[in-house]
Amino acid sequence: MTINESIASVRKSFRADLDSFPSDQREIELLRSKYFGRKGLFAGLYKKLAVVSNKEKPKSGQAINAFKIELQSEFEEKASLISGDNKDTDEQSLDLSLPGFPITNGSIHPLQQTLDEIKNIFKSVGFKVAYGPEIEDDYHNFEALNIPKHHPARDMQDTFFVENDVVLRTHTSNVQIHLMEEQEPPLRYIVPGRVYRNEAVSYKSYCLFHQIEGLYVDKNVSMADLKGILNYFVKRFFGEGTTMRFRPSFFPFTEPSAEVDIWDDKRGKWMEILGCGMVDPNVFDNVGYDSSIWHGYAFGMGIERMTMLKYGIDDIRLFYQNDVRFLEQF
């Protein structure tokens, strides 16, 4: 087959393909490759020049080049028309009168909401906010709080040990020791933060949670002052109609000690909300305060527990699962 006959054959094939030109972009590229690719029909035409005489080779090469330019022009024109049709279809399918997709705003985590509310209540009556280390030495976490080594109270708190005498704090009470070591009385602080206990994870316990500690040190501070401030807090946080009670308890760093309960109408029983008491004189002695002059009270509560009681949540694990269906309710 001569060069002219080969050109005629490619032209015939091209006309047939042009009449049934595809609308899909992938198929258009396949058709482009069929004619103009490295192994396409035009590549085959150029290979035929190898058997053409030297005298006819320039004329045949010019004929193939001109033919290729012609077909490429027709191909691109057809391809651009197809692309334009698709664009028109896309534009027609876009209804600019429809409302846009909603962009949802994030929300403050329920634990943070509760913590902020508690902080604001105590700040409104003169408490300052302080923070302290979550990785703590044994002295500040236990011994200075009247919990010496081998004290039975240590068994109440399953501790994560970083080193022999370094722990992940088991309560925020460690910060009250730092405050009293660094400042002279009177003191009035609340101390929020994370604490860690090596406990089995269940609906009512978690290996980390949040506490807020309260400390007030001054002359002539009494248990009546403690009951007054906690009564004020409970009424502000849970509502004026909340019924509360104090009952005796034990904490190594307070004496006397008490736990505070509120009556839960939904559950029909008393629910513990916090522990409290008068700062033990031994704790004052450990930080260099004269316990014959200075007196104080301390209290501590779990933020997760307060949130669960206020909003009727029955599983502590929900706070840490990041389930939007749960979080967006707050």
The CATH code of the domain that includes 240 is: 3.30.930.10
Tens of pLDDT, residues 183-226: 999 999 999 999 998 888 888 888 889 999 999 999 999 999 99
192/274 same-domain check = yes
Q: Tell which phi-psi region holds residue 190, choosing left (phi > 0), alpha (psi between -120 and 50) or beta.
A: beta
81/114 same-domain check = no
Roughly how many angstroms between the first and final C-alpha of the chain, as a whole number? 81
Its domain, for residue 202, covers 110-327
265/158 same-domain check = yes
Q: Is residue 196 part of a domain?
A: yes
> Considering 60, 93, 126, which residue would you say is the last residue of a domain?
93
Give DSSP secondary structure letters for 222-247: -HHHHHHHHHHHHHHHH-TT--EEEE
Instruction: Please determine, for residue 283, whether its predicted confidence score (pLDDT) is greater than 90.
Output: yes
> Considering 27, 62, 93, which residue would you say is the last residue of a domain?
93
Give the pLDDT confidence score for residue 137 in this predicted structure: 93
> Considering 61, 93, 125, which residue would you say is the last residue of a domain?
93
Tens of pLDDT, residues 287-327: 999 999 999 999 999 999 999 999 989 899 999 998 888 98
Tens of pLDDT, residues 141-153: 999 998 887 776 6
Q: Is residue 102 part of a domain?
A: no
Is the full-model pTM beyond 0.95? no
Q: How many domains does the chain have?
A: 2
Name the more confident of 184 and 328: 184
Instruction: Please determine, for residue 53, whether its predicted confidence score (pLDDT) is greater than 70.
Output: yes
Structure tokens at 104: 């949802």
